[in-house]
Structure 1
């Protein structure tokens, strides 16, 4: 059987939970990574490489990331992740674990979107105004982490769906890690022992420990050069 094929930008971004899930499951896959042009040229960054193919691959809703699974093809990051999870027993199937996991899925995507909205905004203001927006993000993050801490404290679970690792944990780990990477929020995480233990537990999974510690993961940009921060092209 032909290996799965995925396509995405040459960053962690919305595809990293998919990559980590496939690595955790030891599923072979091929990947096309689209660049943003030559960073020494005036046209950088651009989407030309992807746009040249976007409408030629036969997708009903052309977008990145995409998945080729045999004769089936699809786009949209969470939909891809859920398809792979269903096929490999990585989804909660009983209540209340299913409802809890879907609730936390929505919460972590909200956390991600708040961050993306701020750092991709075309008009993010002066450096001082932008720093204030980051401070506001950290404040809202602290509230969300407090709620997640209380959830783990109440239920005594290892993962969001209890003792079963699911696709939601891959979303939660990645998007919470973005805040640790470039919003200077590590001290906030240190206030919440249960959440910190959760992040550490994920990093220590035998299937992912080496990858998470590798340059392939750690040195990759969370976001594209169109973002104000969070990418390897950012000027110090």
Structure 2
């Protein structure tokens, strides 16, 4: 979630996604929020499980799992997301210096006089940074917040491209190595403004939470 330090989530510096390009986003099968579509449908949420160490209005452990009250209708417009290897497991990587894709229907500019909420799903390419490099950038701007190892930063030194207000909970995705399949390695969490130089967006690092995700799903 994003306020001045967080964002409630749209993509800055992005472009329209193709219909069905990211079929694991919800509302399911949605693309243009202003248009009706035979591929779009909704499912009620039965329960929400937040991470047990999450504290409201804090940026650590910013992750929750929604349990739906009915099965999903899988199609080319609604598919499950692939997730990365858990920290310490075979195949684990921190994805540093990898170009990733972020997607959402959030704001196109942090200034509401210059941007607006997106109607058509947006996507943008952002570079995943080494955690220490991200800390250096934030420190250079006088920001003292601690960037955790369970977070990941993605953006550019010059700014210009970022997730923004209302993108929170959306996916940060990289190629899985299996053809053109993408996997969700981060979840839009927080940041200072949107697309500012030396202040890349902060994402929850999914690989650090795989055991918890598995325990909730099995439990």
Q: TM-score range with shorter-chain normalisation?
A: under 0.3
Q: Which has the higher contact order (CA 8 A, sep 6+)?
A: 2
State which structure, 1 or 2, has the greater radius of gyration over its C-alpha atoms. 1
| Normalised TM-score (structure 1) | 0.23
| Structure holding more strand per residue | 2
| Normalised TM-score (structure 2) | 0.24
